[in-house]
Amino acid sequence: MFARLDPVAFQTCFRAWVHALGQHLPDDVVAIDGKTLRRTHDAAIARSPLHLVSAWSTVQGLVLGQLEIDAKTANILSTLTPITQAPAPTDAT
């Protein structure tokens, strides 16, 4: 079913839905976390590991958005487009 969806239209609708959630939950805290996926690199073809940054709604208990970033970075907040206006604490790992 997902293969038939237009990815750009889906992303537009999803972001509008996430923004609407944020309007109704002013006390929500969005947790930002970065992860490197194991076994996603390949030295033979110079492919770096896949690094992802996620935004998690602590009130809703769901991922609001996820982005692939080029390299592991300590400042993951600078790589995200704001998803909501909620405060965004980060972990130290």
- Three-state DSSP state, 15: helix
Q: What is the pLDDT of residues 34-50, one digit of tens each?
A: 888 887 777 777 777 88
Report CA 85 to chain centroid distance, whole Å. Answer: 15
Which pTM was predicted? 0.58
- Extents of the domains making up the chain: 2-79
Q: What is the pLDDT of residue 72?
A: 59
At residue 58, φ and ψ (nearest 5 deg) are -70, -30
CB 55 within 8 A of CB 41: no
User: Sheet holding 30-36: strands in order across?
Assistant: 30-36, 51-57, 62-69
Task: Give the pLDDT confidence score for residue 83 in this predicted structure.
Answer: 46
Beta bridge partners of 90: 32
pLDDT digits (tens, 9 = 90+) for 41-83: 777 777 778 888 888 888 888 888 888 777 656 555 555 554 4
